[in-house]
Amino acid sequence: MANEHEIPARADVPAEYRWNLSKLSESDASWDASLKAFEAMMDRIPGFRGTLAASSDSLYAALSFNKEYSMADERLGHYAHLRQTEDEGDSGSRGRMARYMMAATKGSGAWSWLAPELQRVPDESIKAWMAEERYAEFRVFLAKILRYKPHVLSEGEERLLALAADSATTPQEAFSVLTNVDLDFGSVDTPEGPRPLSQSTFSSFMHNPDRSVRRAAYQRFYAEYDAHKNTIAQLYAGQCKLDSYQSSVRGFSSSRARELFADDVPESVYDNLVSTVNDNLPVLHEYYAIRKKALGLDELRHYDVYAPLVGQVKVEHSWEEAVGVIAEALAPLGTEYVSTLRSGLLGGWADRYENKGKRSGAFSAGSFFGDPYILMNYKSDVIRDVFTLVHEGGHSMHSYYSAESNPFMHYGYTIFEAEVASTFNEALLFDYMTKNARSAELKAYLLASRVDDILATLFRQTMFAEYEHRAHSMLEAGEPLTVDALRGEYRGLLTKYFGPEMRLEETSDLEGLRIPHFYNSFYVYKYATGISASIALSKKVLSGEKGATERYYDFLRSGGSRFPIEALKVAGVDMSSPEPIKAACSEFARLCGELKVALKV
């Protein structure tokens, strides 16, 4: 853009800098017409009810219509979501998303009979019908539903649960509104004058090189949480109670067992992650010793853990230059991967720059029909944005190959697998940029960034996973989740993970009350397993191991055709073993050694 530092209105963003959503819908008016047609489809749903066990033709007809309905649902939902993120303040987009959600919720209730009725089809019948050639596109879909047979309730009970789905989001939504809207964090005095403190600006303050600014922001931020700690603790306790209720009514032994069942991930994988990371905490403690010495501190405080170890390096990459660097870095994956991603990033896949009202951050949103779209708020003078772009590009290429290689009913992959494809790309970019760094300062900066990334994704997310499990286990053992109980558990983990170099604040354990991912229970461990798998796989590709690149392509093409542990075995890594976690911890230790030399501490 002519001047990236001037934030334009959405209407003023040139078309070549926006994503092209025409594969999802030609226009807003076209979307409106599609929504009406979608709502009309619901009238046909009851006609299939009670027919599934009648014959192979009856079951096939119901599944075919369900596929048609689901395709329409995905198109509508993706378009509405993406249009809303372009400008969160646009009432037309918000209204469109609200209309979609109302229709989708109604449709979910209308289809609530499907899974219970499938469970009642005699096993011998459904096995024989699934063997027919025409059922090929439905086999994985059916197999994943049928494995839930011990946990599916009666038709009436399933309908009640489906209708309660919206109200079940209350703890999460109340937490979001309270922490993002109602809490008033005020402002922080800086050498440049007062600056507003909020959920989104807090991380910027924690990266400020001025320790007095970090301290002031930290104290002000957590003072506000301290004033609302009882309310927020009750919201999280409510989430845990909801998880426990849902797992209990479906016959699971615990909330964790229920959440891991969907991906067919043994609970031993979760336990292996926590125990292996715990065994390797001395390497994390050594990093904090390096950080303390590099910052020249007498004692390391909680507000010092994100302070930059290397000053901001002046390197600029225009969007086109960033795409060029990414293409060079990903060259080990071959011309097919690189050329596809390059043309997408330079074409209509990405919404490149910030505009007024646009959602902050970045994401990739793949679908079966549209391109694997990427939202960015790209800044040419921020090196991290190049890594963000390659990260989201990894997600998008995973979506691209999954949709290309699988039928609609099982093209979607799991979050467990998603974090592999994104962090794999980051590993290749880091390797390329450090080998081609033009200065020792740039190399030190890249090393510090990579170490912090692995720390945040492997160690920190494992700490979060350990906390989630403890909180749910306490509740399931009959212990009340009071604010003091939750803080006590979290403080113990902070002490264990940060080690002897850290001097915690009285309010440090309030951090456990502000993590939004805890309202999407037993999710964060997937970040840690994902980066462990990607480190192992990227080393195989970068070393030129025979067949490694082809196996990685097989993984990307798996989509939802396999459960994640099996899909990763195809790629060449066994996440049911602790070995990939051990290797990731060893890589972290190696990089810390290089960083120590680079920082001369």
> How much is the average pLDDT of 167-185?
90
DSSP assigned state of 358: P
pLDDT in tens, 494-528: 999 999 999 999 999 999 999 999 999 999 999 99
Q: Looking at residue 156, what is its pLDDT? A: 85
pLDDT > 70 in the chain, percent: 99
pLDDT in tens, 438-474: 999 999 999 999 999 999 999 999 999 999 999 999 9
Could you tell me the pTM of the whole model?
0.91
Complete domains list, the chain, with CATH:
11-165 (1.20.140.70)
> How much is the average pLDDT of 488-494?
98
How confident is the prediction for the chain on average, in pLDDT? 95
* Tokens found for residue 50: 């009670």
pLDDT in tens, 29-40: 999 999 999 999
Cα dihedral sign, 179-181-184-187:
positive
Of 7-11, 341-345, 556-560, the range with the lowest mean pLDDT is 7-11
> How much is the average pLDDT of 362-377?
96
| Residue 3 confidence (pLDDT) above 70 | no
Q: Looking at residue 1, what is its pLDDT? A: 46
Which own/partner pairs from 487-495 qualify as long-range (CB within 8 Å, at least 24 positions apart)? 487/229, 487/233, 487/512, 487/513, 493/463, 493/466, 493/467, 494/302, 494/463
Top mean pLDDT of 87-91, 161-165, 284-288 is at: 284-288
pLDDT in tens, 45-64: 999 999 999 999 999 999 99
| Residue 555 confidence (pLDDT) above 80 | yes
Q: Looking at residue 361, what is its pLDDT? A: 87
pLDDT in tens, 374-417: 999 999 988 999 999 999 999 999 999 999 999 999 999 999 99
User: What is the band of 2 on the pLDDT scale with cuts at 50, 70, 90?
Assistant: very low
* Tokens found for residue 208: 């400020």
pLDDT in tens, 287-310: 999 999 999 999 999 999 999 999
pLDDT in tens, 222-274: 999 999 999 999 999 999 999 999 999 999 999 999 999 999 999 999 999 99
Q: Looking at residue 164, what is its pLDDT? A: 85
Q: Looking at residue 586, what is its pLDDT? A: 97
Cα→Cα distances 283→277, 430, 460, 497, Å: 10, 21, 13, 10
Any idea which residues carry the catalytic annotation?
392
pLDDT in tens, 308-325: 999 878 889 999 999 999
> What is the full DSSP assignment across 7-55?
---GGGS-GGGS---TTT-S-HHHHHHHHHHHHHHGGGGGGGTT-TTT-
Q: Looking at residue 5, what is its pLDDT? A: 54
Alpha carbon distance 316, 596 (integer Å): 26
Alpha carbon distance 356, 237 (integer Å): 36
